[in-house]
Structure 1
Amino acid sequence: MDGQAYFGGETTTDRANRARPALQLYTDAHPETELSDLIADLLHLADVDEYPDGGEAVALAAMSAYQGEQPTWPTGHSEFAGAYLAQARAGDKGWLTLAGDDDPRAAAEYMRRAMQIVGFRTSEMAGHVDDLVAGHVLTSDDGHVFRVVKREN
Structure 2
Amino acid sequence: MSCSSETSCGGGRGIPSKCVCGLPTIIFTSKTQDNPGRPFFRCASKRDDHFFKWVEDAVLEEVEELKDVSLKIKSEADEFKEMLLKTKSEVEEFKTVIGDVMEAQMWSKKEIWKLKIMIKVFFSWAFFMSICVVFLMFRKANAKKLVLGY
Normalised by the length of structure 2, the TM-score is 0.20
Whose radius of gyration is greater, 1 or 2? 2
* TM-score (ref. length: structure 1): 0.19
Greater fraction helix = 2
